[in-house]
Amino acid sequence: QVQLVQSGAEVKKPGASVTVSCKTSGYKFTTYGINWVRQAPGQGLEWMGWVSAYNGDTSYALKFQDRVTMTTDATTAYMEVRNLRSDDTAVYYCARGGGIKLLSGDWTYWGQGTLVTVSS
Amino acid sequence: DIQMTQSPSSVSASVGDRVTITCRASQDIHTWLGWFQQKPGKAPKLLIYGATTLETGVPSRFSGSGSGTEFALTITSLQPEDFATYYCLHADSFPLTFGGGTKVEI
């Protein structure tokens, strides 16, 4: 069965970096990309970006373009967020998807979420 | 960027009620829209994609409609397990954007 398993919770100081991983199994990794979504406490969902597992192409939301890098290796996607601020405190999710043109099989599978807390 | 305006932000309803949530896109997104349900502490769950196609395993009391800029999610005969927060997502072009969410509460 398809699974996306994310790395564990992190506590970081302002200005630090964090890398969240999303290990996949149960499907051919290169068939789909990985979207990253975050949710601040009590807030809505925010799309951060997408990485192709086929060729590494990326697309980022404008507000994250300077601070976020999304990459993949054999079966795992990674998202690095640099220069963390207190308002980056959120649950970060990965979700399998092809990027644009939401099709059958896209967004069906999600990781369990990773809480990143930014505090001095 | 395409903005998604979702309304209402919250709705009070009872078991058995019919509930309709709407999303308006700031430009034509054809039918590249999905609807998600999220319960506290859980990852979102895809309900509908392509604006109208029910995801496998989702009860038929959920339905989606619309194209272009106006979309709706309707839940007929609300069940206890349907009390949750619902989000739309456009996937017409990068960057993708979610609507602000609608909390369906008792």
| Positions of chain A with pLDDT under 70 | none
Residue A48, pLDDT score:
98
Q: What SS3 class is residue B14?
A: coil
- The 3-state secondary structure of chain A reads CCEEEECCCEEECCCCCEEEEEEEECCCHHHCEEEEEEECCCCCCEEEEEECCCCCCEEECHHHCCCEEEEECCCEEEEEECCCCHHHCEEEEEEEECCCCCCCCCCCCECCCEEEEECC
Query: Which residue in B32, B36, B89 is closest to A101 by CB distance?
Result: B32
Residue A98, pLDDT score:
83
pLDDT at residue B106 greater than cutoff 90: no
Distance CA B106, CA B100 (A): 20
* A 66-95 residues with CB < 8 A to B: 93, 95
Residue B86's Cβ-side half-sphere holds a number of Cα atoms within 13 Å equal to 29
Residue A101, pLDDT score:
84
A50 interfaces chain B, CB cutoff of 8 Å: yes
